[in-house]
A = this chain, B = another copy of it.
Amino acid sequence: MRAVVQRVTKASVTVGGEQVSSIGRGLCVLLGISAEDTQKDAEYMVRKVLNLRLFEDESGRAWSKSVMERDFEVLCVSQFTLQCVLKGNKPDFHLAMPAELAQPFYGSILENMRSAYKPEMIKDGEFGAFMQVHIQNDGPVTVDLTSPAGPTDPKQLSKQEKQQQRKEKTRSKGPSESGRDRGAPRSKQDPSASSGAEGDVSSEREP
C-alpha cells in the first residue's frame, strides 16, 4: 500500500463541478492499494497517517505534532495510479487491487481511521468517480509512505525502522485491535488477466 501524504492549508474534492468534500488545515492522503495488501498494510497506513509529526507545535517548533494532536482534518482519496508500474513510458496498473475488492477495503480503512481519531475529522472523495482534487500544499510538505508488509518495502527499511516497528508492535494500542480482520486476497492475479491489462484494460480504468 502506498500513500502520498500532503500537508495542506485546505483541500477539497469536486465531481462534475460540485464540491463533494472539503477540509481546512490537515492532510490530503492519496491512497494506492495493491492486489497483495492485507489488513496489516491498512493498519500501518492508518497509524502512520494519524501519528506522523508533520506539524509544528504551539511554539512554532517544526515536525512536532501529528494531525490528531493539532485537531486537524484528513481528506483521503483512493488513488490506484500509485500502484503504477512503468513499461517504458506507459503506466500499467495490473498491480493495483481490482476496484470491486478495493472499494470495500478502502471503506474499511476509512472506518478504522475514523474510529482511531474522530469520525467527523476524516473526509473522503468519491470512489471510482472522475474527481478534481484541490490541494493547497502547505510548505510544500509531501511524504511518500509504503506499508512495510507490501511486496517491495522490507528492502527499503533501515535496520532502525525495523527495530522501531518491532517496538511499536509490542506496545501496539493503535487502531489495529479494533480493526476487522478483513484478510484481502494474497494470491497472485490471473496472469492472463494482468497481461490483458496492458492495453485495453488499463485504458478502461479511468481515475
Contact = CB atoms under 8 A, between A and B. Distances in A.
A133 to B, nearest CB: 4
A114 interface: no
Nearest to A199: B63
Chain A interface, >50% SS class = mixed
A17 to B, nearest CB: 12
B91 A54 contact: yes
Contacts of A139: 81, 130-131, 133, 206-207
| Number of copies of this chain that the complex holds | 2
Contacts of A101: none
B89 A207 contact: no
Contacts of A161: 85-87
A134 interface: yes
Nearest to A134: B136
Nearest to A155: B155
Interface of A: 2, 4, 6, 9, 30, 32, 48, 51-54, 61-64, 66, 77, 79, 81-82, 84-91, 125, 130-144, 152, 155-156, 158, 160-161, 164, 167-168, 202-207
Contacts of A134: 134-137
A22 B35 CA distance: 37
A98 to B, nearest CB: 17
A144 B2 contact: yes
Given A52-B89, A85-B161, A132 B136 contact: yes
A33 to B, nearest CB: 13
Contacts of A137: 30, 132-135
Contact of A51 (B51, B85, B89, B160): B89
B207 A79 contact: no
Contacts of A207: 139-141
A51 B90 CA distance: 9
A91 B53 contact: yes
